């Protein structure tokens, strides 16, 4: 991502900023497109991962649909030229205003998350004399084996409709004249790298779709959600997620009936590796117990480490791009030596939790050094805040 020319260019720019490598983005989109097309799968991009304008333009041009979780995301999808017939709208708390907007926009489908929501969509659709397409988001109680803050498909999670409520769902669908049942929807969590999890999901979906068929419902769409993870430890050598294996699992284990469509909602895997947060060392604090690198970026620009204990690789671009890598099994990538020292890498925000990583082995660093925090293309910029009345951060692009 960073050759000498790029680093020289980035040195001239006021920090902090998000740097987007559009080639990495395009390679990832292409790999996903090719792997999914093999099976005729439809991919909706989960816009929540990143709604930067260049990113959205690129994704739209690849012909992906849009998976939205707010009225404003639906609006943005339309503005960026996504086909309304390829827009789905999920979310556990859709407001009346948002539902009305989606109805007025004639989006493809609502992913409904409760029986109460079905009644509300029916009533609002009736008032507009429209029929709303519905997929039922079902909580399959399948463990995603990911961080508990980003697990969504267990009984204790707020998302989706539990299977023991499906009798009610079926009754409601039969009674609501302005709903058109299209299919079933699942999303069990994010940053999933174990393909076994998806195999388990397929098994559950097969059972649930059989249940609907027994009740006389035609399940036209199987929407299996997103969640495919990326390699935060090796952003360069593993810049593209394993789309091949991912789609293959569904091809092997999901029972797809004639005329059924399989839909996906990928976010992170498409965009995460395309961006890095670039910051400067403001101060080096050498303490008795700890050494700190105080950066000019903090939790306001990237909250994932603070919120989910997420690992992001950190590199000092001014010192040959050397990084204080550890491998996933925690083996230090650099042994402490002459030019290497352990730092806690922290931001400027007035919160103790404003720390990107502790005890990182880094080349000895100095005020003004340029630091790259890798793999921030998903849930980086979009989760930024102006806490401490900080400036919103700009984006810089490779071309």
> What residues line the site for ligand LLP (CB under 6 A)?
46, 48-49, 67, 90, 150, 187, 190-191, 225-228, 265-269, 304, 308, 378-379
Nearer to ligand LLP, 144 or 317 (CB): 144
Nearer to ligand LLP, 52 or 316 (CB): 52
Nearer to ligand LLP, 65 or 226 (CB): 226
Taking the complex as a whole, how short is the minimal distance between the CB of residue 304 and ligand LLP, in angstroms? 5
Nearer to ligand LLP, 17 or 379 (CB): 379
Taking the complex as a whole, how short is the minimal distance between the CB of residue 118 and ligand LLP, in angstroms? 17
203 closest CA partner among 220, 188, 214: 188
Taking the complex as a whole, how short is the minimal distance between the CB of residue 308 and ligand LLP, in angstroms? 6
Neighbours of 331 (CB within 10 A): 9
Cβ 187 vs Cβ 69: under 8 Å: no
Cβ 388 vs Cβ 300: under 8 Å: yes
Q: Which DSSP state fits 80?
A: T
Give the whole-angstrom CA distance, residue 151 versus residue 227.
10
Nearer to ligand LLP, 1 or 266 (CB): 266
Taking the complex as a whole, how short is the minimal distance between the CB of residue 268 and ligand LLP, in angstroms? 4
Cβ 113 vs Cβ 161: under 8 Å: yes
Nearer to ligand LLP, 26 or 193 (CB): 193
Q: Which residue has the closest beta carbon to ligand LLP?
A: 267
Q: Are strands 355-363 and 314-316 parallel, antiparallel or unpaired?
A: unpaired
Give the C-alpha distances (Å, rounded to integers) separating 80 from 57, 71, 120, 168, 283.
7, 14, 28, 38, 41
Taking the complex as a whole, how short is the minimal distance between the CB of residue 387 and ligand LLP, in angstroms? 17
299 closest CA partner among 312, 290, 286, 287: 312
Taking the complex as a whole, how short is the minimal distance between the CB of residue 46 and ligand LLP, in angstroms? 3
């Amino acid at each position: 991502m960073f050759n000498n020319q790029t680093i020289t260019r980035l040195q001239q720019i006021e920090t902090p900023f998000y740097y987007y490598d559009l080639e990495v983005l395009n390679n990832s989109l292409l790999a996903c497109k090719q792997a999914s097309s093999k099976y005729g799968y439809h991919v909706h991009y989960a816009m929540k991962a990143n709604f930067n304008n260049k990113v959205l333009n690129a994704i739209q041009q690849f012909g992906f649909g849009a998976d939205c979780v707010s009225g404003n995301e639906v609006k943005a999808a339309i503005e960026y030229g996504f086909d309304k017939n390829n827009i789905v709208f999920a979310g556990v708390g859709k407001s009346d205003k948002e539902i009305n907007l989606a109805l007025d926009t004639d989006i493809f489908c609502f992913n409904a998350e409760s029986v109460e929501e079905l009644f509300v969509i029916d009533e609002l659709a009736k008032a507009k004399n429209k029929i709303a397409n519905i997929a039922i988001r079902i909580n399959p109680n399948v463990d995603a084996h990911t961080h508990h803050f980003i697990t969504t498909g267990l009984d204790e999670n707020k998302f989706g409709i539990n299977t023991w409520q499906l009798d009610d769902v079926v009754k409601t669908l039969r009674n609501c004249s302005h709903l058109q049942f299209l299919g079933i929807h699942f999303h069990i969590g994010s940053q999933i790298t174990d393909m076994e999890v998806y195999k388990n999901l397929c098994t559950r979906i097969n059972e649930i779709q059989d249940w609907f068929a027994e009740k006389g419902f035609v399940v036209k769409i199987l929407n299996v959600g997103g969640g495919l993870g990326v390699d935060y430890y090796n952003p360069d050598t593993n810049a593209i997620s394993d789309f091949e294996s991912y789609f293959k699992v569904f091809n092997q284990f999901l029972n797809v009936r004639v005329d059924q469509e399989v839909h996906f909602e990928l976010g992170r895997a498409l965009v995460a590796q395309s961006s890095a947060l670039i910051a400067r060392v403001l101060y080096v604090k050498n303490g008795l117990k700890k050494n700190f690198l105080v950066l000019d970026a903090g939790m306001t620009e990237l909250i994932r480490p603070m919120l989910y204990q997420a690992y992001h690789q950190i590199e000092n671009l001014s010192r040959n791009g050397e990084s204080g890598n550890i491998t996933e099994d925690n083996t230090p990538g650099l042994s402490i030596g002459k030019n290497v020292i352990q730092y806690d890498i922290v931001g400027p925000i007035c919160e103790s939790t404003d720390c990107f990583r502790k005890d990182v082995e880094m080349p000895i660093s100095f005020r003004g050094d340029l630091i790259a925090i890798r793999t921030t293309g998903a849930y980086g910029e979009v989760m930024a805040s102006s806490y401490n009345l900080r400036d919103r951060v700009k984006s810089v692009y490779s071309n």
